[in-house]
Structure 1
């Protein structure tokens, strides 16, 4: 009888594992370039255009090319079949109509690969590539939300500093090199089981020239003329080619000329999956760049964007707002997300400024993605008190209450939180207990509460502690960064207490790169004309330099805290009580 039970258990286990390892079915896109027998079919949606021409380029720096008139269908699609066109074909579109500028050749918004120039216009050509890849049986890494321990990181920052010892520094492949200090090796040693990458979609990484007029715009805020973080997306189906092994930041140079970013990013995902780590992409689906020649702006702004009464683009903080409630926009977003899930085996998404999405669109997104993978990870920034609303739809969101009760006011540093031994006027011990329980007064499930002390926005946790304890002021010049991050007994205790509550509370903990050893973000000296060099930086979105690059020597300097984090992570992963407890499992004393 015992042998029969063992046989039954073994068969059941094999069936269960096999069902989890089913191959992922690829989904075709509605538009773009399609390899067909005898040539390539091109297809674009431009319902209000009078004429559309396919433009084929011979060389990467060609400003014009051979043009072929496309055929318009009744549904607003335009098509053309180019006979004998080979892989590696570079193309774009010239559109004529009431909302078009026929002097601008735009790339395909459905490009799977793009060749882009390093200038503020982000001039682009679409590249026809073979996107096939040997996944060797890889599929999604499905982890229960309550079991997630997420590390937020920038793919370039983790390996580009010389202290990383990586060979292909700052690249997808550099991230997964063995025997280095950064990248995947750090994630493995720390013990996290998920990595959230800052945006990896192709984005406008050059901004308008500093203190020069540019099409009626005047840049007096960004002396670096860069967007390092990537929150200005351009092509929703193409990976950022700057992170490929041939990527360059040389002005006017071209990135992506051979499309290698596709296979290199897929290799990174596959390697992370082999280590049992889920891969989460930080995505922007509510806005695009203000500055670049984004194809949707030139195809039909009335279809794709929110406009004011004068027909001008509406913006909210970061860029031109997409009309995500319009069906063509919603279809574009959903096709993009499904494409990353099926072609790149992405396990989940973090949505930037998700509160800008309507409830209808947010519900549509989660419903559609769960049809592809019921275990897909979905959370975002549901600011403006929309956390509870999003939770009712099954979304997770960043738990600002967790940050603020522990740290204090985000901007008023004298209004301190629990880590400083007190509660703010509007808070009490009950608020702290609620955080530990998974903030049930806001979230339907603790699996929706993404708890954090630090993310990429604002001052990092340790800099905040220094400001709130008056060790530093915002205008201090830090001459010795390594000495600056040294932790005295009080700062070490506060860092440890914050880490302890973060990693023993119900909910999903997220750790930002360098938080685990109390890093600092100090504005590095470069050729840029920045008067704030040496100060702590609360918004280093524009700095592809040592302000953001991870210095792995710091980890050794604050080894006690780094070891404490890895110990807590091991504790959390070992004991399910820290992840799957319910309110009745808790008893608070005092």
Structure 2
């Protein structure tokens, strides 16, 4: 067992080169250089293969140790199309540890061997001509979270069978389910600005060689961080195929003015002792407890050590690769609170050098206890220490719909009269506001750009399932639909960055297949953790868009309102304090606020009651910019006005 101090390793052996991995070089691309970092290895070997799996090794070549713990070999030929691994020897080890290169940028089927790729051969036609969409700051974005397979795997998507559930499912236009547009045309019709893709980097638990098995996973079980997931390609055995097809996805969305955000999972590895990191340099890339055992802040068996210089460098190099080679528009960090604050800030600095408009946000919590001091980690309560990075706003989430981990808990929209203080904080972007003095725990954001407002994501119950569980015994189906629309209005019209899950806009549900002998009840018929559930649970059933077209149209109208005025997208807390004012209705749960500058004035009213409510508009003549159905009523109004039950109403001054 290797014994060393990681800080001492960092001091002696930190390597700042940008050439780790396999690189084809030379004016004629006639040489290939392989480099890996393992400072305490006593020998490292390059293994070359003809294919991504099987008994087809060409040769094994010893590598030369350079300064700073780097091992090197140069072959005087292009290895484009070949596959490779490294084998590591350590003192007192009984055998060589063979593994894929942690820096591999392409891989064979199931990600056990790296692939040498000339990336210039992977660009689809027109790749260099398509411009990325502009997004000045996070408040300009409206993010739509999608899983690649969910998006198009169902027959109702209208996508051709060979592209269903694949990257190419995002590239089809004019797909329909009945009278409703689906997939790409749906994204355009809804009006979102960015698609957030659940992990598309290579993950461990789907057998890419056997797609007929109908396997499923969200992808938070990372195996190779710089390679794409092969099950989303039409030919997993061809490394260039998945690269080219993902680029086609990005290019198509960019052509249509939509950015692409990658969900990245650097906080843990799916394998621990058997991971490529552990084989390359044992006990360096993961955090450990004092007894040498692996800590488990992720809840997945281990956690990575972002505070170790070469894992920090790995994360930065990886993100720079995705941002430049694939032209993605941002990153969402899974369990970001496991990364130390210093690393998070350095990542933001490095992304700014590429493009300051790259979005960066993540989860401000962990999945377990980390040995690293909590004040050093990117927890939400430390937000002021990394204020340029967004965080999911669980305060507004739970205030709107009720506690996430109690399916029966009620929120503002479903009858809880004790959440209005937290709700107001969220409406104001979770930044300090001169009118708000309660719910200080919900005032956490450095700027409104840091607040990612949502009521539904891939985790936990969908909003619609939550409403049915908590409210079916008290409310009619029509009332539950009104609550859903009211929740959408809060999220989309609040300051910050709105975040919506695929299908939320037409009442997405995740039905669960019961186990044999299990009796159905109002809770267990819905999945609250569908990470490996079948398509029966996760696939988008596009016919629901036909059924709930009125809900979709309302979400679409809300997005149009938000995008119509900068008053809904203020990026500075000083602007929020100046231009947002809460109005006193005499009823703290009848929440009304005004957005006003020298050009425009909006009044937004939230009525959480089953009965209509009335209030006095400020001075001036207004019209109803959005009613409870999402329509515009241009009739001039002033003074005392009506708000429909369980609804949001937006008035605009003429």
Whole-angstrom CA distance in 2 between matches of 1:98 and 1:288: 25
Task: After TM superposition, give the deviation of residue 130 of structure 1 in Å.
Answer: 1.5
Alignment size in residue pairs: 517
Match of 2:33 in 1: 41
SS of aligned partner of 2:320? helix
1:129 aligns with 2:117: yes
CA contact (8 A) 2:151 2:183 kept: yes
Structure 2 residue 579 is matched with structure 1 residue 559 = no
Q: Deviations over 1:471-503 (max 9, x none)?
A: 49xxxxxxxxxxxxx982111110111111111
Show the counterpart of 1:172.
167
Deviating above 4 A after TM superposition, structure 1's stretches of 4 or more consecutive aligned residues are 98-101, 224-227, 528-534
406-415 vs 448-457, greater mean Cα deviation: 406-415
Q: Radius of gyration: which is bigger? A: 2
Contact 2:85–2:114 (Cα < 8 Å) also in 1? yes
Higher mean C-alpha deviation, range 579-588 or range 512-521? 579-588
Q: In 2 relative to 1, CA 111–101 (structure 1 residues): closer, same or farther, beyond 3 Å?
A: farther
Equivalent positions of 1:84-483 (< 5 A) are: 84-98=77-91, 102=95, 104-117=97-110, 124-132=112-120, 133=123, 134-143=126-135, 144-167=137-160, 168-181=163-176, 182-206=182-206, 228-246=217-235, 255-290=236-271, 293-315=274-296, 316-383=298-365, 386-393=379-386, 394-424=388-418, 427=419, 429-440=420-431, 441-471=443-473
Residue 310 of structure 2: SS of its match in structure 1? helix
TM, length-normalised to structure 1: 0.82
- Superposed CA deviations along residues 5-38 of structure 1, whole A, max 9, x for unmatched, are xxxxxxxxxxxxxxxxxxxxxx994211111343
Structure-2 change in CA distance of 1:46 and 1:28 (3 Å) = closer
Alpha carbons of 1:408 and 1:323: their partners in 2 closer, same or farther (altered >3 Å)? same
**Which aligned pairs between 1:496-515 and structure 2 lie closer than 5 A?**
496-515=485-504
Q: With structure 2 as the length reference, what TM-score do the two structures score?
A: 0.74
| Larger relative contact order (CA 8 Å, sep ≥ 6) | 1
Residue 55 of structure 1 corresponds to 47
Which residues of structure 1 form unaligned runs of 5+?
1-26, 118-122, 208-223, 247-254, 473-485
Call closer, same or farther: CA 1:64–1:323 in 2, change over 3 Å: farther
Alignment CA distance shift 1:205-1:327 (3 Å):
same
CA separation in 2, counterparts of 1:532 and 1:307?
A: 43
What do residues 380-409 of structure 1 show as CA deviations (whole Å, max 9, x unaligned)? Answer: 111379325234421110011111111112
Residues 364 and 380, structure 2, Cα contact 8 Å, conserved in 1? yes
Contact 1:48/1:99 (CA < 8 Å) preserved in 2? no
The verdict on how the C-alpha distance between 1:319 and 1:137 changes in structure 2, with shifts beyond 3 A counting, is farther
The 3-state SS of whatever aligns with 1:334 is helix
Matching residue of 2:560: 570
- With over 3 angstroms needed to count, the CA separation of the structure-2 counterparts of 1:459 and 1:413, relative to structure 1, is closer
Equivalent position of 1:120 in the other structure: none
Tell me how far 1:360 sits from its aligned partner.
1.4
Go from structure 1 to structure 2 and tell me whether the alpha carbon gap of 1:237 and 1:101 turns closer, same or farther (over 3 Å shift).
Answer: farther
Considering only aligned residues, what root-mean-square deviation do their CA atoms show, in Å? 2.6
